[in-house]
Amino acid sequence: MNAPPRPLLPPGLYLLCDDTVRVDMPLVLKAERMLAGGARVVQLRMKRTPVREALSVAREVVRLCRRAGAVCLLNDRVDLALLADADGVHVGDEDLPAEAARALLGPGRLVGVTVRDAEGARAAREAGADYVGVGPVFGTTTKQVPAPVLGLEGLARVVTDSPLPVVGIGGVGLENVGRVAASGAHGAAVVSDVLLAQDLAERVRLLTAAFERGRVGG
Ligand SMILES: Cc1ncc(COP(=O)(O)OP(=O)(O)O)c(N)n1
Ligand SMILES: Cc1nc(C(=O)O)sc1CCOP(=O)(O)O
Ligand SMILES: [Mg+2]
């Protein structure tokens, strides 16, 4: 019998449902509004949510994503991803290594890894990753990132040389998401531009349309 096909990360907008930005709004409501705007990929990034609450939020957000046909990934936490039956995880330098995440998750879930260059992307592929998050593309105040800003040219270079699909992250918003798409990136990850918008669903619609226009060079 053949192994089950490896799931693919949907291209386009990649949204982080994050508890460090817009802290007054519950995570489940953030996810609902993102999905109402047509989100296809939601990463649940919980840096300040106590773990028991995080598990129940993860279960609820996975349920909402599944109903909407969207992919739900857990940031950092392979244990929560398994317990909540999420579609995968995103890990970086301070998390479990990608090999360990893959070993725990098996072949049927997605593993995303943060890298800073194409060499990192090649190592991530060897470790069993499905895609790489690459940043910071632009300056960001959401996180202090221990790496220089890549800019669009730097991102495009990684895209060209990466053996894995690249998701650009860091300072991505309505002003520049089309150019991120035009760089050849598979996806564009957005935190604050969506979470700080008055109407999250409408912002997701606008960003999605702008990514599509950029991708086709329109
Ligand atoms: C799509 C995507 N790319 C990069 C990151 C950053 O992950 P990491 O380096 O583990 O940092 P934290 O998000 O855990 O602070 C990401 N989350 N998503
Ligand atoms: C979580 C994260 N990781 C980054 C990296 O470059 O690794 S940048 C970032 C924060 C991105 O937030 P915003 O969309 O608000 O700029
Ligand atoms: Mg992490």
User: DSSP character for 84?
Assistant: T
Give Cα separations from 20 to 24, 25, 49, 69, 74 (angstroms).
10, 10, 9, 26, 15
Kindly state if the Cβ of 110 falls inside 6 Å of ligand 1: no
Please check whether residue 153 lies inside any domain of the structure.
yes
Domain range for 131 is 12-215
> What is the number of domains present in the chain?
1
Please check whether residue 2 lies inside any domain of the structure.
no
Residue 194 has pLDDT above 80, yes or no: yes
Q: Could you tell which of 18, 140, 167 is best to mutate to test the pocket of ligand 2, judged by most ligand atoms within 8 Å of the CB?
A: 140
Instruction: Read off the pLDDT of residues 119-147 as tens digits, 9 standing for 90 and up.
Output: 999 999 999 999 999 999 999 999 999 99
Please check whether residue 3 lies inside any domain of the structure.
no
Please check whether residue 56 lies inside any domain of the structure.
yes
Torsion of CA 114, 116, 121, 124, to 10 degrees: -40
Residue 87 is part of a domain; what is its CATH number? 3.20.20.70
Instruction: Read off the pLDDT of residues 65-102 as tens digits, 9 standing for 90 and up.
Output: 999 999 999 999 999 999 999 999 999 999 999 999 99
Q: Which residues line ligand 2 (CB under 6 A)?
A: 114, 135-136, 140, 142-143, 145, 169-172, 190-192
Please check whether residue 102 lies inside any domain of the structure.
yes
The partner residues of 90 in beta bridges, in order of sequence, read: 75, 112
Q: Could you tell which of 45, 46, 75, 140 is best to mutate to test the pocket of ligand 1, judged by most ligand atoms within 8 Å of the CB?
A: 75
Which listed ligand is nearest to 73 at the C-alpha? 1
pTM over 0.95, yes/no: yes
The verdict on whether residue 160 carries a ligand-binding annotation is no
Tokens of 126: 């060897």
Please check whether residue 141 lies inside any domain of the structure.
yes
